Chains A and B, each alone.
Chain A
Amino acid sequence: MAQTITQKIFARAANRKFVDVGESVWLNVDVLLTHDVCGPPTFDIFKQEFGPEAKVWNPEKVVVLPDHYIFTQNEHAHRNIDLLRQFAGEQSLPNYYDVGTDRYRGVCHVALAEEGFNIPGTVLFGTDSHTCTSGAFGMFGSGIGNTDAAFILGTGKLWEKVPESMKFTFEGNMPEYLTAKDLILQILGDIGTDGATYRAMEFDGEAVYSLSMDERMTLCNMAIEAGGMNGIIAVDAVTEAFVKARTSKPYEVFHSDPDASYHSMYRYNVEKLEPVVAQPHSPDNRATVRSVAGTPITKSYIGSCTGGKLTDFMLAAKILKGRKVAVTTNIVPATVLVASQLSTETYEGQSLRSIFEQAGCSIALPSCAACLGGPADTVGRSVDNDVVVSTTNRNFPGRMGSKFAGVYLASPLTAAASAITGKLTDPRDFL
Chain B
Amino acid sequence: MESIIQGKAYVLGKNIDTDQIIPAEHLVYSLSNPEEVKMYGKYALSGVPLEQGGLPEGGIPFVPEGSLTSPYSIIIAGPNFGCGSSREHAPFSLKVAGAKAIIAESYARIFYRNCVDGGFVIPYETSQQLNKLILTGDELSIDMKNNTVTNLTQNITWQLRPLGSVVDIVQAGGIFEYARQNDLMTKGQE
Q: Which residues of A contact B (CB under 8 A)?
A: 15, 24, 26, 28-29, 37-38, 40-41, 44, 49-50, 57-58, 68-69, 74, 76-77, 79-80, 126-129, 131, 143-148, 151, 154-157, 159, 193-194, 197-198, 227, 229, 282, 372-376, 394, 396-399, 401, 403
Contacts and interface: CB of A to CB of B under 8 A. Distances in A.
Interface of B: 15, 17, 19-20, 23-25, 27-32, 36, 47-49, 79-80, 83-89, 91, 106-110, 113-114, 117-118, 165, 174-176, 179, 184-190
B28 A74 contact: yes
A339 B100 CA distance: 46
Contacts of B174: 147
A143 B113 CA distance: 10
Given A148-B175, A155-B187, A375-B28, 19 more contacts: A24-B165, A26-B184, A40-B31, A50-B185, A74-B28, A79-B30, A129-B85, A131-B86, A145-B86, A147-B118, A155-B179, A197-B107, A197-B108, A198-B109, A374-B25, A396-B20, A397-B48, A401-B25, A403-B47
Contacts of B80: 193-194, 197, 227
Nearest to A157: B188
B176 A373 contact: no
Nearest to A127: B86
A228 to B, nearest CB: 8
Contacts of A143: 85-86, 110
For the complex of A and B, list the 10 residue pairs with the smallest distance between their C-beta atoms, beginning with the closest: A157-B188, A145-B88, A76-B28, A145-B114, A143-B86, A194-B80, A147-B118, A156-B188, A129-B86, A146-B88
B15 A227 contact: no
B88 A151 contact: no
Q: B-side binding surface: helix, strand, loop or mixed?
A: loop
B59 to A, nearest CB: 14
Contacts of B185: 50, 154-155
B188 A26 contact: yes
A373 B27 CA distance: 11
Q: A-side binding surface: helix, strand, loop or mixed?
A: loop
10 contacts: A37-B27, A38-B88, A145-B113, A146-B114, A154-B187, A227-B83, A373-B25, A376-B25, A394-B17, A398-B23
Nearest to A284: B15
A29 B188 contact: yes
Contact of A398 (B28, B31, B47): B47
Contact of B31 (A26, A41, A375, A397): A41
B86 A144 contact: yes
Given A80-B28, A151-B176, A397-B20, A145 B87 contact: yes
Contact of A44 (B15, B32, B79, B114): B32
B38 to A, nearest CB: 14
Contacts of B36: 76
B86 A156 contact: no
Contacts of A227: 80, 83, 108-109
A398 B117 contact: no
A50 B91 CA distance: 22
Given A155-B185, A397-B20, A398-B47, A197 B87 contact: no
A271 to B, nearest CB: 32
Contacts of A69: 28
Nearest to B28: A76
Contacts of B87: 37-38, 145
A147 B28 contact: no
Contacts of B15: 193-194, 282, 396
A22 B27 CA distance: 33
A257 to B, nearest CB: 25
Contacts of A372: 19, 24, 85
A28 to B, nearest CB: 4
Given A49-B176, A58-B190, A375-B25, A41 B19 contact: no
A28 B188 contact: yes
A396 B49 CA distance: 11
Contacts of B187: 57, 154-157
Nearest to B52: A397
A37 B26 CA distance: 10
A151 B19 contact: no
Given A77-B28, A372-B24, A398-B47, A57 B188 contact: yes
Contacts of A24: 165
B168 to A, nearest CB: 11
Given A148-B175, A194-B80, A374 B49 contact: no
